[in-house]
Amino acid sequence: MHMDQVSKMEEEIEAFCLDIAEKIGPLGLVDDESDVYKKTSIAVNLRICYELRATGRLDSSLHIQELFHFTQTLVEVFGSEIADNRELDDLWEAVFTALGYTYVYIKEDTWGWTYYVRALASVARMKYSSFRTALSAAGVPDDEDAVIQFAKLRRGFVKMSYFSPTAEIDNFRFGEFRPNIDDKDILASMLLERAQFRGISENHLCQVLQCELIDLNKSVTAPQNLTSVAAILSLETRSFIQLVQNIEIYDAQKSIRENYKGALDRPPRITINDIKEGSERITPKEFTNLLKDVAVVHPAYRANKKLKGYLLNNGIEIGIEISTSKTVNIWIPKDVMSAPLQGFLKAEYEEYDNSSPVYGRHSALRVYPQLATSAVVKLVVSNVNGANTFIECLREWQKA
């Protein structure tokens, strides 16, 4: 439908919703505002009726039964105001046309047929009085099937068709607008396909949205254009805007998740020196964090809970007892022992003889070649200052 037709349709729908509000207002079911009706399925379904009358097209065959119940209910509720001898205004013509299509395409014996002649007259695009005259002149019996066949043979009858599923986007018009779309480019493509199947050219869309053709994909989902796009493509405005918002929220969340991906895996930039004074006690975990700059976990380490081996960048092996809580016990080869470390010396162990029944040193050292049988020393570091001194010695070893 063109924009002027859409505007007229919206005015009539708003007036109808106001009429409903006025009728049930005294019952206390609605306040003075009609917004609650304009944004419900009443307005949405009425737009479908208008479009069905204008184009003979329906969004999906799955909706026709819902369409019957909606139009039949309206006609029954307002039947007293639709006298048989008066011609209908545009809104009721649209309602009866939609009802007539449901009679033509899905005939159910349990459906009410009170208004079927009037509805089929609208489907044939004929005045009710003229349709009745034509029925009489042709000798058509008062039978539903016969009247349906007669209406289908009228010149004004438009065979109902369904919009392409690729242009449908789940449920554009009926009920809530909640398709599973999380990409604006996909949505834009589907909107343009929807326009194509409604005979709306891209140039016309550009004219309405005041944009260049090259920018049309972005323009159909731009915030300032959403109400115009909803109107020209017969979308439920509130749900359409909500969908575009949800896509932007999804994109933002995706970007945030990407920015924070791996944040837990990044080591802190602070060290124990930023947290504790030099004289404070240091734990094995804090000490091994300091080691990361000069050593890596030894390939031979197998999750031993008492001692963890490390390999310095220059190939020297050291062992750290990780089960202690008050001090850090460190094992190093005796031949790398240097003067600055003498103050940490706890014990010395000569080369181990396999014939000796007593291993002597920590049993977890057996898997580390330089510490298993060679002469080793055990050092004890008790505070942050001592840890810094030891780490600095390791750096000096690697320079040598």
Task: Please state whether the predicted TM-score (pTM) of the whole model is above 0.85.
Answer: no
Give Cα 152 to chain centroid, integer Å.
Answer: 45
- Give pLDDT, residue 82: 60
Instruction: Using the Cα atoms of residue 54, residue 15, residue 127 and residue 61 in order, give the sign of their dihedral.
Output: positive
How far is CA 58 from each of CA 49, 333, 395, rounded to the nearest angstrom?
9, 85, 78
Instruction: Output the tens digit of pLDDT for each of the chain's 400 residues.
Output: 555 666 677 777 777 776 666 655 444 444 444 444 444 567 777 778 888 888 887 765 446 667 787 788 788 777 656 645 455 678 888 889 988 888 887 765 544 556 788 889 999 999 888 999 999 999 998 888 889 999 999 999 988 876 544 434 334 443 334 445 667 888 888 888 778 766 788 999 999 999 999 999 999 999 999 999 988 887 778 878 888 898 888 888 888 988 888 887 777 766 777 778 888 888 898 898 888 888 999 999 988 889 999 998 888 999 999 988 788 999 999 998 888 889 999 999 999 888 888 888 999 999 999 999 999 999 999 999 999 999 888 888 877 6
- Give pLDDT, residue 217: 92
| Exposed e or buried b per residue across 150-159, where buried means at least 16 C-beta atoms within 10 angstroms of its C-beta | bbeeeeebbe
Lookup result for tokens 């006690």: 281
- Give pLDDT, residue 164: 47
pLDDT in tens, 340-396: 889 999 999 999 888 888 888 999 999 999 999 999 999 999 999 999 999 888 888
Rounded CA-CA distance 322/324 in Å is: 6
Instruction: Using the Cα atoms of residue 198, residue 179, residue 184 and residue 164 in order, give the sign of their dihedral.
Output: negative
| φ, ψ at 163 (rounded to 5°) | -65, 150
- Give pLDDT, residue 86: 53
347, two tokens? 């014990």
- Give pLDDT, residue 2: 55
- Identify residue 242 by its one-letter amino acid code: Q
